[in-house]
Amino acid sequence: MTDIGIELDGISKSFVSGAGTVRALDDFTLSVAEGEFVAILGPSGCGKSTVLRIVAGLDSADRGSVTVAGSSPQTLIAEGALGVAFQDNALLPWLSVRANVALPYKLTGRPVDQARVDELVALVGLADFAGARPSQLSGGMRQRVSIARSLALAPRVLLLDEPFGALDAVTRHRLNVELARILAAEASTTLLVTHSVEEAVFLADRVVVMTGRPGRVKLTVDVPFGRDRTKAVLGQPEFLRLVAQLTAALDDDDTETGTAA
Amino acid sequence: MTVSATAAPRTRPAAENGARPLRLPRAVLPVAGVLALVLIWQVIGVSGVLGRAVPPPTAVLDAFVDKGDILLRAALATGGRALVGGLIGYLLGAMVASVTAWFPRSTTPLVRVTVLINAIPIVALGPVLMSVPARPFIPEVFAALSVLFATVLTVGDGLRSASKSPADVFRVFGASRTARFFRLELPSALPMAADAARLAVPAAILGAILGEWFGADRGLGVLMVSAMRNIQYGFLWAAAVVAVLVSVVFYLVGTVLERAASRRFGRSGEAAVDVAPLAKSASALIGVLIPVLLIVGWQAWIWIGDVPQIVAPGPLGVAESLAADAPELLAAAGLTTLSAFGGLLAGAVVGLALAILVTLLPWLNAMLSPLALIIPTVPIVVFIPILGSLLGYGVATVFASCVLMAFFPIYVLACSGLRARPAGSDDLFTIYGTGRLRRLTRLALPAAVPALLIAVRLAAANAFLIAISAEWLMGQGGLGRVFSERRVILDTNGSWAAVVVAIVLSVLAYVGAAALERKVVTRWRS
Amino acid sequence: MTNRTARTRTPIAAVAIAAVSLLALSACSSGDAGGGAASDTTPISFQLDWVKDSEFGGFFEADEKGYFADEGLDVEFLDGGDVSSTAAVIAGGAAQIGIVSNLSRLIDAIDTGADLVAVGALYQTSPAGLMTLPDLDVTSVDDLKGLRIGTDESGTADIDTLFRVNGEEPDYEDVRVGYDAAPLFDDQIDAYYAYVTNQPIPYELQGIDVNTVTFADLGFESYAGLIVTTREFLDSNRDAVEGFVRAASKGWSETIDDPSATAELTIGSYGADLGLDEDSEVASLTAITELVQSDYTKSNGLFAMDPERIAGPMYDALTASGREDLPDPADIFDTTIVADAQD
Ligand SMILES: Nc1ncnc2c1ncn2[C@@H]1O[C@H](COP(=O)(O)OP(=O)(O)OP(=O)(O)O)[C@@H](O)[C@H]1O
Ligand SMILES: [Mg+2]
């Protein structure tokens, strides 16, 4: 874990719209090592999605530098080595679940690895719905399709924006375990945005707490468990202590929290 | 969820104002496009390769200088009629569409009535209207009729396009039907209502011009027939150019409205055809009832009004003609169908191709932007005679007219359809480094399918009308020609028999296209 | 302008379900105007069979000089863009008097049961004919055999009749070109169906030579520009019709004397919205005045119709065209109006 996976240095970002200027990020700095899994916590509207969009090259920072996998997001994109599960899942309504998961192959002009597609569909528990269209799925099911799709090309950098937001506790937990297993095998550099402190601690090597808008890093906590962790960690005192510490950090946020969804 | 995702690409980051130097060439391209067009026209006009009927722009300019005041008066007259008639047709259409949204079960019968009304060829209505008190308002009536149909369909689809989740929110809060309509459905329909307004512009102007051919004391339509017969080609083209200009002005207003509506209310792209279908038997009953009612009403008008046969024949006489001339009418119908469908197909291909090209090539888009503005506003029927001198007087011209007419709605709706992508999908394609071509085939084109199907439905309903008008003007065969031959010997039974066949074909074409749309579009709903 | 509102005064021809929406529209207008016209004037809506260009110049002259008013008539001109519809408009009562473009149309209209009467004929010789390039000189129907003839809606039937009245079956290629003579110069057709008083004129003025021949020259005779009313209106308003013919006749006499003055009146006033060219209109109107006069009109007055010509060559042509059971000319031509109009 010596190479740098993602390096954000002094990022600032404002949005101008009819209603005025919103300062989303201010001097946001974060470094993620290659293969490292970092979870981001923060109040709603603090700029978490914006961080991911900047890493993905979908938005540009007003100030500061962005390095991803040694160069720019664009290089990563050119290699087809970026996977993103968007907050609003962005499924194509006219494609089946299987076709949506296979889409990244088509978009990058690679032959579809049907076995892997089926494996991912099964992994997110949608084997019975492989032929269904998004309109026939529930919100959580759609999110799961989106996660499977983000993993399709075994990306070097994986960005997950509240991927489990609409899931029940049981499914969420099962997926957490599966995700942990898969990521341990593939060693993607991963940024996960989540509102669940337990999820962050369970999955990540490191957890970052952001301030309210404009977003800045408030607290960084290393998680001492190895990547091959199992359900067993959930009961450990260290786990509970980390959860308590992070929850407290989120709670005593004195800055105004955003309202944007 | 739509809001944040569609807002993202539109918002410019605060510091990103280095785009200034790009502005200049961007403004240059459209101007270059117009100049190129005028230059090509001048060369064609001076060289005479397209014959005498195409004068050079300089000759048209002369006409403007000599007769500017007359052209202005005519433009005001026609523009005013188009505006009044168009507005009436539009409001009527929007009202009918609202009724269908409010009472979904009324959709099938109401839409059927408008399809039927729309299927009546204007050229057949004109002579009848000349003999009734509405006579001074023929241009307004034609403008209203030309607008009504597309408005009912487009606005209706817009009203039904309200996203499901906000609709549920309204239900949960126990909002009244009225509140749901005014606070949800109506705002969601605004982008498509604005689309309908833009579609209505050239239709209304064309309607007014055609109406003026049936007796008006001034107006662009009057100028055109007079100039044509007096071989004043420069003047004729000047009148056509003015018609286009009037269209462009209205169209620009429509575009501004559309942009504003899209920005404010978002475009949900999906036009759900989510109508509670009537029971099979009820639907069949209505299918029979409406035509029967219309025929009874027609007969009643003939009897009560004591209408002479020369003004309008009764259903019985027409039925007799239908039976007597069945073989001839069938043969003519075959030819007309060929032109109408062939034209529809070719027009769809051309319209879609141009929409794609414009979506793919930003510089071409910039260069064609004035053209793209002008083409849809050109009153095509005015140019049928010019098509004739280019393509000869026969099937080719009829076919080309059908192509041009089908092209317009398909181009407009394809352009907006190609932009109506699912929320966040553009970002998805970006992170896989997808090139323009794949973005087109995998995202824009599939996303445009619902809009395209609406366009095809609209074009299908009008394909026969255009084929018949073109055949009437310069066809060597087909229903339009039969109509014309019967009409000129004042055989109203015979000419209306041809009209009835045309109406039936039009309605069938529409019903077919609508069925196709229903089949396909369910796949597209998210 | 003034015409538009006045038009709503026309008698209601029909009340219909189909017209309900149209009525709603007309209700938006300012309603009946001209109700204040003195009770001793008779309103006449006069349906023209084309837009208001100088081919109707004599009628405009009569209106301008007040000859109609002198007869107690308040005449309103209705433009007619659609040539085929005028008979229907008169029969339906939306116009009391109107121009029906030729004899065939009148006969066809009467055949549908329309109760029409012709009280005069503007053109003693129909201006309908053919226009060709100078290298084609048409002197008989034989010269037309196998040619491509450009027609409009009315042309085909006329040319068929032309062949038949000469004892031939139609033998030509019918090219429907509409109102546009350009195909003649682009070698898409060999002859063009035209009013010889109209389409050829602008070309001649531009110095482009063309040949013209009327159908009458080729053996197909017909009155044209028939002044038509309904039997019902004629019976109850005989004086008004007679007054109309008398006033119109005065107007046309002045036009014959000075076509350019009438052309000027048309361009400047009645047809001011048409963008007409003065030279064309003067030339056209001069040509028209030739066809409006004949030996018969010189002794019987303008618009006079010769029963012998009708029953003879004109009815022969109608029979040749395939029309059967022609009405007795006495029932549909009232020659007494013109006669009585000669004070
Ligand atoms: N395209 C945009 N235009 C204008 N403002 C934006 C845009 N994107 C984000 N913002 C603003 O930036 C701020 C941060 O947004 P962001 O989506 O990053 O929040 P978030 O931390 O992901 O919130 P949540 O947890 O609710 O998803 C918000 O206040 C939002 O209003
Ligand atoms: Mg977010």
DSSP string, B440-500: IIIIIHHHHHHHHHHHHHHHHHHHHHHHHHHHHHH-SSSHHHHHHHHHHTT-HHHHHHHHH
Angle ∠(B399,B403,B408) on CA atoms, nearest 5: 155
**Cβ–Cβ < 8 Å for C249, C341:** yes
Domain positions in chain C are 42-125+222-341, 128-218
Tokens linked to B51? 């014959």
Dihedrals φ, ψ of A42, to 5°? 170, 155
The Cα–Cα gap between A113 and A118 comes to 9
Nearest residue to B272 (alpha-carbon basis) of B520, B513, B441, B2? B520
In CATH terms, are B49-277 and B313-526 the same topology?
Answer: yes
- The topology under which CATH files domain C128-218 is D-Maltodextrin-Binding Protein; domain 2 (3.40.190)
What's residue B430's pLDDT? 86
Query: Is residue B14 very low, low, confident or very high in pLDDT (cuts 50, 70, 90)?
Result: very low
In CATH terms, are C42-125+222-341 and C128-218 the same topology?
Answer: yes
The Cα–Cα gap between C249 and C239 comes to 15
**Backbone torsion region of residue B490, taken as left when φ is above 0, otherwise alpha when ψ lies between -120 and 50, otherwise beta:** left
Please state whether beta strands C191-195 and C148-151 pair in parallel, antiparallel, or not at all (unpaired): parallel
- Of A11, A25, A48, the one to substitute when testing ligand 1's pocket (max ligand atoms within 8 A of C-beta) is A48
What's residue A81's pLDDT? 85
Residues of A with CB under 8 A from a CB of B: 13-17, 21, 53, 56-60, 62-63, 77-78, 80, 82-84, 86, 88-94, 103-104, 106-109, 133-135, 153, 260-261
Strand, coil or helix: C123 = strand
What's residue B1's pLDDT? 29
- Is the distance from the beta carbon of residue A16 to the nearest atom of ligand 1 less than 6 Å? no
**pLDDT of B473 strictly over 80:** no
Tokens linked to C108? 């066809």
Tokens linked to B174? 């126990």
Q: Which residue has the higher pLDDT, C8 or B476?
A: B476
Tell me which chain A residues have a C-beta less than 8 angstroms from the C-beta of B422: 90-93
**Domains of chain A from N-terminus onward:** 4-81+155-251 (3.40.50.300), 91-154 (no CATH)
Beta bridge partners of C45: C76
User: How many beta carbons lie within 10 A of that of residue C49, not counting itself?
Assistant: 25
CA max distance for chain C:
60
What's residue B39's pLDDT? 87
- Is the distance from the beta carbon of residue A194 to the nearest atom of ligand 1 less than 6 Å? no
The Cα–Cα gap between B94 and A56 comes to 44
What's residue B13's pLDDT? 38
Query: Is residue B23 very low, low, confident or very high in pLDDT (cuts 50, 70, 90)?
Result: very low
**What subunits touch chain B, counting only 3 or more CB pairs under 8 A?**
A, C
What is the tens place of the pLDDT at every residue in A132-157?
888 888 888 888 899 899 998 888 88
SS3 labels along chain A:
CCCEEEEEEEEEEEEEECCEEEEEEEEEEEEEECCCEEEEECCCCCCHHHHHHHHCCCCCCCEEEEEECCECHHHHHHCCCEEEECCCCCCCCCCCHHHHHHHHHHHCCCCCCHHHHHHHHHHCCCHHHCCCCHHHCCHHHHHHHHHHHHHCCCCCEEEEECCCCCCCHHHHHHHHHHHHHHHHHHCCEEEEECCCHHHHHHHCCEEEEECCCCECEEEEEECCCCCCCCHHHHHCHHHHHHHHHHHHHHHCCCCCCCCCC
Q: B226 CA to chain C: closest CA distance, Å?
A: 7
The interface predicted TM-score of the complex, written ipTM, equals 0.82
Domain positions in chain B are 49-277, 313-526
- Mean per-residue pLDDT, A28-40: 90
What's residue C296's pLDDT? 95
Tell me which chain B residues have a C-beta less than 8 angstroms from the C-beta of C181: 231
The Cα–Cα gap between A112 and C298 comes to 96
Question: Is the whole model's pTM more than 0.80, yes or no?
Answer: no
Tokens linked to B161? 């396009």
Strand, coil or helix: B265 = helix
Q: State the architecture of B49-277 in CATH terms.
A: Orthogonal Bundle (1.10)
What's residue A90's pLDDT? 84
What's residue B397's pLDDT? 82
The Cα–Cα gap between B422 and A92 comes to 7
Q: How far apart are the first and last CA of chain B?
A: 12
- Whether A and C touch, i.e. at least 3 CB pairs below 8 A, reads as no
The Cα–Cα gap between B35 and B38 comes to 5
**Cβ–Cβ < 8 Å for A62, A31:** no
Tell me which chain C residues have a C-beta less than 8 angstroms from the C-beta of B70: 272-275
Q: Which residues of C290-324 are buried (b: 16+ CB within 10 A; e: fewer)?
A: ebbbbeebeebbbbbbbeebbeebbbebbebbebe
**Closest Cα to atom 18 of ligand 1:** A47
- Is the distance from the beta carbon of residue A59 to the nearest atom of ligand 1 less than 6 Å? no
**pLDDT of B229 strictly over 60:** yes
Angle ∠(B25,B26,B27) on CA atoms, nearest 5: 90
**What are the per-10-residue average pLDDT scores of chain C (343 residues)?**
34 33 37 45 92 93 96 92 83 92 91 92 95 93 94 86 93 83 85 91 88 94 95 95 96 96 95 90 94 94 95 93 90 94 82
- Mean per-residue pLDDT, B402-428: 81
Q: Which residue has the higher pLDDT, B184 or C265?
A: C265
- Mean per-residue pLDDT, B73-83: 93
The Cα–Cα gap between B206 and B200 comes to 10
Gyration radius of chain C over CA positions? 20
Q: Which residue of B has its CA nearest to C201?
A: B230
Q: How far is the CA of A24 from the centre of ligand 1 (A)?
A: 7
What is the tens place of the pLDDT at every residue in B249-268?
887 887 777 777 766 665 54
**Backbone torsion region of residue C93, taken as left when φ is above 0, otherwise alpha when ψ lies between -120 and 50, otherwise beta:** left
Please state whether beta strands C128-132 and C224-230 pair in parallel, antiparallel, or not at all (unpaired): unpaired
**C138 Cβ neighbours under 8 A, 6+ residues apart:** C130, C132, C144, C191, C211, C213, C218
Query: Is residue B244 very low, low, confident or very high in pLDDT (cuts 50, 70, 90)?
Result: confident
Tokens linked to B397? 């011209």
> Which class in CATH covers the domain with range B313-526?
mainly alpha
Q: C112 CA to chain B: closest CA distance, Å?
A: 6
What's residue B168's pLDDT? 60
Angle ∠(C73,C79,C82) on CA atoms, nearest 5: 135
The Cα–Cα gap between A16 and A31 comes to 27
What's residue A207's pLDDT? 92
What's residue A165's pLDDT? 76
Can you identify the CATH homologous superfamily of domain C42-125+222-341?
A: Periplasmic binding protein-like II (3.40.190.10)
Looking up tokens 């470094």 gives A31
Dihedrals φ, ψ of B215, to 5°? 100, 85
User: How many beta carbons lie within 10 A of that of residue B25, not counting itself?
Assistant: 11
**pLDDT of B361 strictly over 90:** no
